[in-house]
Each structure stands twice: as C-alpha cells, then as structure tokens.
C-alpha cells in the first residue's frame, strides 16, 4: 500500500484532488492543506508519492520534496503550479521531480501521472543508467539514440531540452519538423507538450528568444542590423525589422538609439 500526500495552500484544490484520486485508486491517500502541516507529516512518516503545489507560504514545494527525500530517497514527486513559466519548470527539473503539471490541467493529467509512477514503483528496482523499456509516450520508432543523451525522459525533460537547444542553435533550422526529428517525438505531440510545459506555443517561444537575443546584440555590439538578423535566425533583415517592431514597439535601429541615449544620460 502506497502513501500519497497531497499538498496545497488552497483547501478547495486539495479536496477536489482527494475526491478525484479516491475514485481511481484504492491506495491510502493522506491529504493536508497547509504547507506547515505537510512538513510535519513528512518528517514523521514515509511518503511514497508527494503531490505538491510549488509556491506556498511557509514551505514551498521544493523544500517539501527535499525533506521527503530525507525519510524516503525513492519518494516520487509531482509538482502542481498555476504558473506556466519556464523558471518553475526548470527549477522542478533541477530537483529531480517525476512530473510537472499546470493546475488548469490537473484533473485531466494527474491520474495518468500517478498511474505511470505506480507502474514503475511496482516493478523491481532498476539502475537509472540502464533501461530496456520502450521510449515513453508517442515517440517515433527508431534504432538511433537521441542526441540529448537521455536514457530516461519525461515531458518536462523534453521541454527543457528543446528550450536549451533553441538558445544554442538560434540561427539554425528550428522548424517543428526539425525539432521533432532531433527528439524522436511526433511533431503534433511535441508541440502539445511544449505548450503545456512552457505556457506558450513553440513558435512564440522561438520568436521571443530570437528577439531577446537581438536586443542583447543591439545593446552590446556594433553589428549591423542585417548581421544581427542573421545571427538570431531571421531569413531577411526586412522580416526581422517587422517582427522586432511588432514585439518591442520600435524598430531595431530606434531601440539601439534609445538605449544609447538613456545610457548617456545615466553617465552624465
């Protein structure tokens, strides 16, 4: 029998999750509302699955997960959050969580997430450096190893990897088809999990990243506009100008000029 602890600082969320899981699992569920109560429970008993909000008063989800691992190094962790920001996803990945679910999708995804965890927990212990299982989810069949050198992957791993790949290859082909090829994921599935994990579409994330990098180059270098547009992956400087103005509200030339003027005023 597994012990599942549900943690959130909003009583109605804990109650709804408790009812949802109680219908699908015969396992013991120990629910609590406030993070202070959760910490006491975690310190006094061994939790098998921790389902926790991230941002809470007193103790946040990361702190609870860290404490839970003191009593049970094999505890499985699912983070819930109302914030579709990569900072949260990245921090969750760094803690080694098993899943990361937006609250707006919680009811549709948490049951399947726990089922996946229970399936792995009911199997004999395994070495994370070796695996004979099939690739998870809807990946395309292949005998090649994916380029990101992951023996075991989750959706949030893939989202984080794609974000990092985009930043490091901003001037390259970043089409959905290309990103699907390098991750061996179905394109439509990859697009869907990226939107779910990051809160923005893949296309918008690429544009935002390109514009952010362009801003840095405009401020920190003397590169010409067409050189910057090439470095951040725009096919033509005309298209770059149009997208930049739409995103920022001014042309690249005016952005650079306004920054230089403000910097000079500050120096004086």
* Digit-coded pLDDT (tens) for 64-113: 999 999 989 999 999 887 765 556 666 666 667 888 787 766 666 888 88
pLDDT digits (tens, 9 = 90+) for 21-49: 777 665 566 666 666 788 989 998 888 99
What pLDDT is attached to residue 128? 33
Taken as a whole, the chain contains a residue count of 268
Does 129 have pLDDT greater than 50?
Answer: no
Q: Provide φ and ψ at 70, rounded to 5°.
A: -70, -40
Residue 81: what pLDDT?
77
b/e 217-227 (16+ beta carbons within 10 angstroms → b)? bbeeeeeebee
Question: Residue 61 and residue 121: Cα distance in Å, rounded?
Answer: 22
Q: Which of left, alpha, beta for 137 (phi over 0: left; psi -120 to 50: alpha)? A: left
What does the alpha-carbon distance between residue 246 and residue 100 come to, in Å, rounded to a whole number?
A: 32
- For position 87, what pLDDT does the model report? 60
Which conformational region is residue 233 in: left (phi greater than 0), alpha (psi within -120 to 50 degrees), or beta? Answer: left
Lowest-pLDDT choice from 29-43, 48-62, 120-134: 120-134
Render pLDDT for 227-239 as a digit per residue (tens, 0 to 9). Answer: 999 999 998 888 8
CB 122 within 8 A of CB 74: no
- pLDDT at site 218: 94
pLDDT band, residue 19 (cuts 50/70/90):
confident
What's the whole-number mean pLDDT along residues 190-199? Answer: 87
Residue 86, pLDDT score: 57
> Which carries the bigger pLDDT value, residue 199 or residue 134?
199
* Beta carbons of 219 and 256 less than 8 angstroms apart: yes
Does residue 213 register a pLDDT over 90?
Answer: yes
In this prediction the pTM is 0.48
Q: Which fold has domain 3-121?
A: Rossmann fold (3.40.50)
Cβ(205)–Cβ(194) under 8 Å? yes
Q: Which CATH class is domain 207-267?
A: mainly alpha
pLDDT at site 17: 78
User: Which CB contacts under 8 angstroms, 24+ apart, belong to 207-214?
Assistant: 207/243, 207/247, 208/247, 209/166, 209/167, 209/170, 210/170, 210/234, 210/243, 211/243, 211/244, 211/247, 211/248, 213/167, 213/170, 214/240, 214/244, 214/252
Query: Per-residue pLDDT averaged across 217-223, rounded?
Result: 93
Query: What integer pLDDT is reported at residue 13 of this predicted model?
Result: 77
- Distance, in Å, from the CA atom of 204 to the CA atom of 16, rounded to the nearest integer, reads 33
d(CA 119, CA 112): 10
Report d(CA 56, CA 35) in Å as an integer.
Answer: 7
């Amino acid at each position: 029998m597994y012990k599942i602890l549900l943690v959130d600082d909003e009583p109605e969320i804990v109650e709804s999750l408790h009812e949802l899981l109680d219908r699908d699992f015969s396992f013991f569920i120990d629910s609590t509302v406030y993070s202070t109560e959760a910490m006491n429970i975690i310190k006094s008993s061994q939790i098998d699955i921790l389902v926790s909000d991230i941002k809470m008063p007193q103790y946040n989800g990361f702190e609870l997960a860290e404490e839970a691992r003191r009593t049970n190094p094999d505890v499985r962790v699912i983070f819930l959050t109302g914030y579709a920001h990569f900072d949260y996803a990245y921090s969750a990945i760094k803690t080694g969580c098993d899943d990361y679910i937006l609250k707006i999708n919680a009811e549709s995804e948490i049951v399947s997430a726990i089922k996946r965890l229970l399936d792995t927990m009911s199997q004999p212990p395994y070495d994370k450096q070796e695996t004979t299982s099939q690739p998870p989810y809807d990946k395309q069949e292949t005998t090649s190893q994916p380029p990101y050198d992951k023996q075991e992957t989750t959706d949030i791993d893939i989202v984080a990897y794609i974000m990092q790949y985009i930043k490091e290859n901003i001037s390259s082909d970043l089409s959905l088809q290309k990103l699907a090829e390098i991750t061996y994921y179905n394109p439509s599935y990859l697009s869907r999990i990226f939107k779910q994990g990051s809160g923005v579409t893949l296309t918008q994330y690429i544009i935002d990243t390109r514009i952010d990098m362009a801003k840095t180059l405009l401020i920190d270098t003397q590169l010409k506009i067409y050189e910057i547009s090439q470095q951040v992956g725009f096919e033509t400087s005309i298209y770059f100008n149009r997208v930049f103005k739409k995103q920022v509200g001014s042309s690249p030339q005016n952005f650079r000029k306004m920054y230089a003027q403000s910097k000079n005023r500050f120096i004086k």
